[in-house]
Amino acid sequence: MEVNVIYVYDYYLYANYHITNKIRNETHPKNNFFRSREFLMKDLYTFDENDESAKITYENINEAYEKIFDFFNLKFFKVQTKDTIMGGEISHEYLMESKYGEDKIFRCKLCQHVNKNVKICWKCKNSNYTEKNVSEIGHSFLLGNKYTKIFNCGSIPYSMGCFGIGVTRLFSHLSTFNDDFIMWHKSIAPFDITIIPQKIGYDAETVQLQCDKLVNELCKHYPQCSILIDNVCKTSIGHRFKHFSKIGTSPIFIVVSGKCENGEIYEYINVADKTNHKISIDSVINLMNKNYN
């Protein structure tokens, strides 16, 4: 995918971006999408008439990136970096705390400024800090005319910017996973709720009535909610739950078995710890409230 944008009002801007697969010569892929041989990347390159307009573009793109990360409620660190391989005048990395992270940041306990791989604060020179493991989800560079001057791009070299978001890495931060399940962030989960009816032969009429009642209540409270109902009831509940939890169909799984215990006719399965809880229809609605808010 490529998009070219030209503004001709106050200054010239050419912007070209693409989202594509990249291959990395990774000897030991590990930790799901955090370190894989193939990954998806969004790259953006900008060309401005002069350094002043390039700085405006740089700030605008960074602001757009921050809005994207805020949309997903990500707790990210925006860290200014120096001496990057790309070179240029200014560079910022977008980092997220992760147990799989192979980079480190140091937050100054005095002024709260965050530095990457530097134990002495650039801002106040304090060396008292807290340390966190992080992984990179985005990067921006203000390159100036470092590359355009080399290629003799016109009589006045354009001022260049380079930006990127690791789409695959971003998805890793929007999920909780292990070998048995993956749970996507509610903003990208395929469905809001998965309903798994009892296997065929176990009071099918009662199960169907309970399913219909639950769906009607969900649609009444949340007209826009997306519901997955597993109507292939030839295998056990456990087998189907295992299948759905491995692909992360939704953050909420409800079993309809046809049984009733003290008015609680539904069963909520906690994906993370695989515990089962008998709940009422009101409790299902409360779970949806927490997921929507």
Asked if 42 and 112 sit in the same domain, the reply is yes
Which among 205, 264, 207, 260 is positioned nearest to 230, based on CA atoms? 207
Q: pLDDT at position 64, please?
A: 94
Asked if 118 and 202 sit in the same domain, the reply is no
pTM over 0.85: no
| Structure confidence at residue 218 as a pLDDT band (50, 70, 90) | very high
Asked if 167 and 30 sit in the same domain, the reply is yes
Q: Cα-Cα-Cα-Cα dihedral of 24, 26, 31, 32, to 10°? A: 40
Among 173, 198, 232, the domain-final residue is 173
CATH number at residue 284: 3.40.50.800
Q: Which of 25-34, 224-233, 249-258 has the lowest mean pLDDT?
A: 25-34
pLDDT digits (tens, 9 = 90+) for 175-185: 877 777 888 88
Q: Is the pLDDT of residue 191 over 90?
A: yes
Contact 268, 276 (CB under 8 A): yes
Contact 38, 22 (CB under 8 A): yes
Mean pLDDT of 161-173: 88
Asked if 217 and 251 sit in the same domain, the reply is yes
Please name the amino acid found at residue 113.
H
Q: Which of 44-53, 68-77, 87-96, 216-225 has the lowest mean pLDDT?
A: 87-96
| Structure confidence at residue 276 as a pLDDT band (50, 70, 90) | confident
Q: Is the pLDDT of residue 265 over 70?
A: yes
Mean pLDDT of 203-230: 90
pLDDT digits (tens, 9 = 90+) for 131-160: 888 888 888 988 887 777 776 655 667 888
pLDDT digits (tens, 9 = 90+) for 222-243: 998 999 998 888 888 888 988 8
Q: Is 204 contained in some domain?
A: yes
Q: Is the pLDDT of residue 110 over 80?
A: yes
Q: pLDDT at position 229, please?
A: 92
Q: pLDDT at position 232, please?
A: 81
Asked if 149 and 221 sit in the same domain, the reply is no
Asked if 159 and 79 sit in the same domain, the reply is yes
Whole-number Cα distances in Å, 176 to 32, 173, 230, 277: 11, 8, 23, 21
Tell me the pLDDT of the chain averaged across its residues.
82
Domain total in the chain: 2
Domain that holds residue 155: 3-173
CATH number at residue 45: 3.30.930.10
Asked if 236 and 138 sit in the same domain, the reply is no
Asked if 21 and 88 sit in the same domain, the reply is yes
pLDDT digits (tens, 9 = 90+) for 117-136: 777 887 788 888 888 888 88
Among 116, 139, 173, the domain-final residue is 173
Longest dimension (CA), the chain: 82
Among 148, 173, 198, the domain-final residue is 173
Residue in the block written with tokens 């530095």: 115
Asked if 71 and 111 sit in the same domain, the reply is yes
Q: Is 136 contained in some domain?
A: yes
Asked if 28 and 68 sit in the same domain, the reply is yes
Residues of the chain above pLDDT 90, percent: 22
Highest mean pLDDT among 8-22, 39-53, 171-185: 39-53
Q: Is 178 contained in some domain?
A: no
Q: pLDDT at position 8, please?
A: 47
Asked if 156 and 221 sit in the same domain, the reply is no
Highest mean pLDDT among 4-13, 38-47, 154-163, 261-270: 38-47
Asked if 42 and 71 sit in the same domain, the reply is yes
Which among 161, 159, 163 is positioned nearest to 140, based on CA atoms? 163
Query: Which 8-state DSSP code applies to residue 151?
Result: T
Q: Is 23 contained in some domain?
A: yes
